[in-house]
Structure 1
Amino acid sequence: MKLSQIRLTVKDFNKSVTFYRDVMEFPVVMSEEKMQYASFNTGEIKLELLSRKSMAEVLGETELPTDADTQSKFLLNVAVDDVDKSYKRLKDKGAEFVTEPSDRKEWNARVAHFRDPDGNIIEIYKHPIKES
């Protein structure tokens, strides 16, 4: 068995297509506005599990929300060559970051987090942390 794709259900199709195409710069494989369907080439797919409590702590949220719409139940991890450069580029394109680039020593990674138009969390990361 092989995971082939992750499908997000979105509130505003056109806004989300614009975000993933123009801000995230994922190449469009197929887009059908009438059907409200789009597919993007994102490279290799991985699935990771992290408790909601741990994610809330990473984002600096002190209480776990009870409303399912206030926190993602998952996040998209996107590997980048340089977290700080990607952070600046994405921020310049309008991405609203939840956390600034920081080293997560326990993960041996540099990370930053932002949300897509539906509030889903996206993490940009680089392994391993550069040694100073």
Structure 2
Amino acid sequence: MNLVSIRIITADINSLVKFYEQITGVSVAQYTPDFAELQTNTATLAIGSTKTLQFFGGESVAQASQNRSAIIEFLVEDVEKDYERLADFLQPYIVQKPTTMPWGNKSLLFRDPDGNLVNFFTPVSEQAIKKFENKK
């Protein structure tokens, strides 16, 4: 079994598409006005509008802008460089500037326009580097 995708449901798909393109530098493929995907080597971040909920049983299945538990994480080459590149753009969204975590990753934590937590991280300890050496 492989985890291949995480989907965010939003009331403003265009805002999230632009945000994720800006922070990642990757073009998001928008297949319809209500569905888009940001594809990386290891997984896909799907972005669906609230209109797509009808296919899953109705609007009560998921609620846009209500996430309070999940963090969308991106393994990046150098979190400090990404922070420098995005500092002005991310200013209203930053939760924590680059900080080394006890488990060996240096993390930049911020929110997207819907309030979802996003983590850019770079392994910095020997153990963390080894853990992620095959994920790049």
TM-score, structure 2 length as denominator? 0.67
Match in the other structure for 1:10 = 10
Q: Where does the alignment leave 5 or more consecutive residues of structure 1 unmatched?
A: 47-67
Match in the other structure for 1:127 = 123
Q: Where does the alignment leave 5 or more consecutive residues of structure 2 unmatched?
A: 45-64, 127-136
Provide, for residues 65-122 of structure 1, a one-character-per-residue CA deviation record: whole Å limited to 9, x for no partner. Answer: xxx93x6310011111111111121223345211011111x21111110001110111
Selected match of 1:88 from 78, 84, 89: 84
Structure ranking higher in strand proportion: 2
Match in the other structure for 1:44 = 42
Amino acid in structure 2 at the alignment position of 1:128: V
Equivalent pairs counted in the alignment come to: 105
Amino acid in structure 2 at the alignment position of 1:31: Y
Q: Secondary structure at the match of 2:6?
A: coil
CA RMSD of aligned residues (A): 2.3
Pairing 1:1-132 to 2, within 5 Å after superposition: 1-33=1-33, 36-45=34-43, 69=66, 72-94=68-90, 96-104=93-101, 106-129=102-125
TM-score, structure 1 length as denominator? 0.69
Provide, for residues 4-50 of structure 1, a one-character-per-residue CA deviation record: whole Å limited to 9, x for no partner. Answer: 211110121111111112233232234321xx11111122139xxxx
Query: Is the 1:101–1:110 Cα contact (8 Å) retained in structure 2?
Result: yes
